[in-house]
Amino acid sequence: MSSSLKDKIDKRNLPWHIAIIMDGNGRWAEQHGKIRTFGHSQGVEAVRDTAKACAELGIRYLTLYAFSTENWIRPKFEIDALMTLLVDTISAETQTFLNNNIRLLTIGDTLGLPETCRKSLNECMEKTKKLDGMKLVLALNYSSKWELTEAARKIAAQVESGKLKSSDIDEKKVAENLNTAAIPDPELLIRTSGEFRISNFMLWQIAYTELYFTPVLWPDFRRDDVYKAILDFQKRERRFGGIKAIKQHE
């Protein structure tokens, strides 16, 4: 099954950057008669399989939305479990990153994360910084409105200090001041768990991204689901405001 789906993928038309809103851990746990945090732990296997599948295919960037600025309103017990899981997973998976030539990056307000999380993230980013394979971007304490507000603040400071004229502010300048300044926009955005919303994720960057929604709950998501999403993406006609390309008759 797995190899046949993978074989159908056109290697010349791969998305350069795939972003995923990993959702449905709580519902998965509920369906299995477990507490919500069990669903989060099970989600780690989905991350591992997805990252390996994308790296193997030659995807250049994989961004995973792991914790939003809104997720702080969850019960303390769940937040603590998520933060502990993050520390443990990053430490345990650093070898997987090294073996698969994956470089770790983050976006989001990581200064707002507990010290233990920042430490394990920094260690892993340092150890993988020279790797030139896929970049795994974890969106942590991230929200798009926060990111855009920060960008506005940074740009305003440049204008205030006289380094920049307001008439020189263009789309490039805004993009340069986002957390994703060094990361191309995703071509494909996947959301699991059957929800049809964006939940404050990469609002600027997904202006022309192809959206793919699947009912699969995140802990059940595996490489075949990645392949299905890419195959669906490859059937789309991306127009960017233009018109359908007319086939020439011979």
Q: Which residues are catalytic?
A: 23, 71
From candidates 63, 100, 106, 193, binder to ligand IPE by CB under 6 A: 193
Tell which positions 52-81 bind ligand IPE, by CB under 6 A: 65-68, 71
Q: Which does 6 bind (CB under 5 to 8 A by kind): ligand IPE, Mg ion, none?
A: none
Q: How far is the CB of 119 from ligand IPE (least distance, A)?
A: 20
Under the binding rule (CB under 6 A), the answer on residue 26 touching ligand IPE is yes
**Interface with ligand IPE includes 168 (CB under 6 A)?**
no
The nearer residue to Mg ion, 23 or 225, going by C-beta atoms, is: 23
Report how many residues bind ligand IPE under the rule CB under 6 A. Answer: 18
Q: How far is Cα 166 from Cα 211, in angstroms, rounded to an integer? A: 34
Which residue has tokens 């995807």?
59
**Helix (H/G/I), strand (E/B), else coil: 66:** strand
In the sheet with 210-213, reading across from the earlier edge strand, the strands are: 103-107, 135-142, 61-68, 17-21, 188-191, 210-213
- Compare residues 157 and 203 and give the one whose CB is closer to Mg ion: 203
Residue 65 structure tokens: 């939305």
Q: Is 147 among the residues that bind ligand IPE (CB under 6 A)?
A: no
Q: What does the alpha-carbon distance between residue 205 and residue 239 come to, in Å, rounded to a whole number?
A: 17
Between residues 44 and 231, which has the closer beta carbon with respect to ligand IPE? 44
Which residue reads 């069990």 in tokens? 38
Report in angstroms how near the CB of residue 137 gets to ligand IPE at its nearest: 13
- Residue (128 or 192) nearer to ligand IPE, CB: 192
Determine if 108 is a binding residue for ligand IPE (CB under 6 A): no
End-to-end, the C-alpha distance of the chain in Å comes to 38
Q: Binding to ligand IPE by residue 41, rule CB under 6 A?
A: no
The token duo for 32 is 């299995």
Nearest CA among 83, 71, 205 for reference residue 147: 205
The two three-digit tokens of residue 55, written as one number: 């790296």
> Which residues contact ligand IPE (rule: CB under 6 A)?
21-27, 65-68, 71, 82, 193, 195, 197, 199, 218
